[in-house]
Chains A and B, each alone.
Chain A
């Protein structure tokens, strides 16, 4: 059975801090790892990672994948209160029509205080 584990489960920081969120995965026929941000309702897409060692970057957020260690991290620099959210990572298998059959981690709740 596929499994994705995130750590820490919750994190409280102050504005301006840098945070690192962790995601380890065991996904049969692994294809990609995805990161989402969930504020109050629908998760919104952040990154998709398929290759080891290639950093994806969007503003203050960045993410990288290690396919040897089955691990990914999401970094947020100079955090702002608007970064407060649940961050979800999910592993996707390859093959046929299983694209959307993501296995999600339990999420990391990030709280950024002013």
Chain B
């Protein structure tokens, strides 16, 4: 069966510090992978998606970047965090057949 792992679960970082969130999918190959952000009390916003190694598309301009160094690994990064980067970050993949979206357990990021 396929599973998606995301870590860390919570992170508290000072403004200006770097960020690295990691996501991996097991049990499948060449998945489409996504990073979403959920601000408090709001819906999910798509940040990045990737259809393969080294292929990244950005949906919104921001202080973040994404990379896909391996087939089943997706990384969200920042060189210098801003207060506005706080939020709940979710990695997702679109499953076998690509009709649904399955989410990792999320990372609650607080930038202070």
Which residues of A are interface residues toward B (Cβ below 8 A)?
Answer: 4, 6, 32, 34, 41-45, 48, 88, 90, 97, 99-107
CB pair A107–B43 under 8 Å, yes or no, is yes
| Contact partner, B103, options A6, A32, A42, A99, Cβ 8 Å | A42
User: Which residue on A lies nearest to B106, using beta carbons?
Assistant: A41
- Greatest chain A CB density within 10 A among B92, B93, B98, B100 is at B100
29 example contacts (A-B, Cβ-Cβ < 8 A) are as follows A4-B43, A6-B43, A34-B100, A34-B101, A41-B106, A42-B104, A44-B103, A45-B100, A45-B101, A48-B100, A88-B44, A90-B101, A99-B32, A99-B94, A100-B34, A100-B46, A100-B49, A100-B92, A100-B93, A100-B94, A101-B49, A102-B101, A103-B46, A104-B44, A105-B43, A106-B41, A106-B42, A106-B43, A107-B43
Q: Say how far A5's CB is from chain B's closest CB, in angstroms.
A: 10
Which residues of B are interface residues toward A (Cβ below 8 A)?
Answer: 32, 34, 36, 41-46, 49, 51, 59, 90, 92-94, 98-106
Listed from nearest, the 4 A-B pairs whose CB atoms lie closest are A104-B43, A42-B103, A100-B94, A99-B98
Total contacts A-B at CB 8 Å:
59
Chain A residues near B92: list those with CB within 8 A. 100
